[in-house]
Amino acid sequence: MITAGLIAYPAVMSAFYSFHKVGSAALSRTYIGLENWKRLFSDSVILECIFHTVVLIVVTVFIMIPLAFAIALILAKAKVFGRNFYRTTFFFPVVLSVTVAGVLWSWVYNPQYGIINEGLRTIGLSELAKPWLAKSTLVLPAVTLVIVWKYIGLYIIIFMAAVASIPKNIYDVATLDGTNLWQLAFYVVIPMVREVFVVAIAIGITASIHRFDLIYIMTTGGPIHHSEVLATYMYKQAFLSLDVGYASTIAFFLFLLTLGLVVTQIQSMRSREIVEF
């Protein structure tokens, strides 16, 4: 009940304020109908934000989650020397403070003294040194790489737990049939952990849509909105431009987008299960 209230109340208030012009800290408001929504759908920055969010979702669903599953399967079932070391290494960025991670990678990408450019200069490839976070074509891939580094360990732990939950006798039978690791993955493990994939993908989609912290710390959505996402743009409208009404419109749009994508994804997975059955 409390959880539902914490979700429902902000959503309802965002919807309410989206039809108003709201002053600083919501001290005054004027009903303006659909003006904020008209502005939303004609705002070119919103289109950029949606595109960047789609990129993050694609990277999460089609690269990070499959890669996390592959690593989890190797760590759980293959003979790997130093398995515990790799588990710790992959999970360490997850527990690292977002602020620390953002500042750390800002230093790594720094065009003057960052380790990437310094390394390139040291090996005689100074022409490849770039202003990674200041160049419009490089900033989104650079930030996306940090997001993968920061959060892939979470999905690895989720999949390792899922792989470990499969009864040992199933692995024994598959081994007796002569299956290798990847045959085991496709014909045994993946069908049995399908629901875990559904949860992981739902988490990934939701996190991608609401991504704010690392992006704002590293780039504040720049340069010129080339790494802007809906959450950072909403923050700027609310706290920098003090346009709470428009920020509420973006927030409610964010809520609807999240709800729609997650429900669609879950329904798609369920429909697939019914067809396969």
Residue 28 counted as domain residue: no
Based on C-alpha coordinates, what's the Rg of the chain? 22
Residue 23 counted as domain residue: no
Region of residue 149 (left: phi > 0; alpha: psi -120 to 50; beta: else): alpha
CA 213 – CA 210 distance, rounded (Å) = 9
Residue 254 counted as domain residue: yes
Angle at alpha carbon of residue 64, lines to 62 and 70, rounded to 5°: 95
Residue 43 counted as domain residue: yes
Residue 13 counted as domain residue: no
Residue 17 counted as domain residue: no
The pLDDT of 137-150, averaged and rounded, is 96
Check residue 24 and give its pLDDT.
61
pLDDT for 263-276, tens place per residue? 887 777 666 554 45
Residue 58 counted as domain residue: yes
Residue 3 counted as domain residue: no
Which pTM value belongs to this model?
Answer: 0.89
- Give the number of other Cβ atoms within 10 Å of residue 138's Cβ: 17
CATH number at residue 48: 1.10.3720.10
Q: CA separation (Å) from 255 to 57, 151, 172, 249?
A: 16, 22, 45, 10
Q: Determine which helix (DSSP H) or strand (DSSP E) holds 59, and give its type and residue range.
A: helix 44-59
pLDDT for 79-110, tens place per residue? 778 888 888 899 999 999 999 999 999 999 99
pLDDT for 18-70, tens place per residue? 898 886 655 678 889 899 999 999 999 999 999 999 999 999 999 999 999 99
Tally of structural domains, the chain: 1
What is the span of the domain harbouring residue 198?
Answer: 35-276
Spell out the residues 6+ positions from residue 112 whose beta carbon is closer than 8 angstroms to its own: none
Phi, psi of 22 (to 5 degrees): -110, 130
